[in-house]
Structure 1
C-alpha cells in the first residue's frame, strides 16, 4: 500500500470483513459485495464532504476525490488479487468437515 497502515488498520478491515461474511448466509456473496462497495462509496463521499465548506467546493474537488479513492481501491485490489494468486491453493482449500 502507498501509505503505511496504522497498528489497527487490519483489525478494522477484518471487523468489516467479518460483518460481510456473517451476511453471506442471508444472500449471495455478490449481493454482500455490492452492499460493501456501496457502503465504502457512501462513507468515502462523506469523508470528502467533511473537508469542504459547501456543495460548490465539494463539486470543485469531485474529480480529485474520485482519482484518489479509485486509485487507492485499485492499488489495494491489485495487492489482494496478487496475494490470492500466489496463495490460491492455501487460501481456497476448504478444511474437511
Structure 2
C-alpha cells in the first residue's frame, strides 16, 4: 500500500490545500471545509484500497490492517504538521492560507 515520496508529492498535497483555501472563500467555515477534505481523503483511500482486492470478502479480511495503516500514517503526518506549526506559529499565523 505504501509508496515512496516522489518529487511531486508536496505539489499534489499543495493542490488539495489550495482547493480547500478556495472553498473557504465561499463557505468561510474552517470546520466544514476541513471535514469535507478529510471525508474526500477517506473515500479516495477506500477506493484505492479496494482496487487491490478481487472481492469484498477479501477486502473485509484486510479491513483491520488497512485501518491500522491509514490511521498510523495520518497520525504520523498530523504529528509532523502540528510540530511544524508549533515551531513556526508566528510565521504561519501571519499568512492567510494554510
Structure 2 length-normalised TM: 0.90
CA shift at 1:48, angstroms? 1.0
Partners in 1 of 2:5 and 2:49 — Cα distance?
20
Aligned to 1:38: 39
- 2:72 maps to which residue? 71
How many Å separate the matches in 2 of 1:45 and 1:5? 20
CA distance in 1, matches of 2:12, 2:63: 26
Q: How does 1:1-97 map to 2 (within 5 A)?
A: 4-27=4-27, 28-94=29-95
User: With structure 1 as the length reference, what TM-score do the two structures score?
Assistant: 0.91
Q: Distance in 1 between matches of 2:68 and 2:47?
A: 16
Q: CA RMSD in A?
A: 1.7
Runs (4+) of structure 1 exceeding 6 A deviation are: none
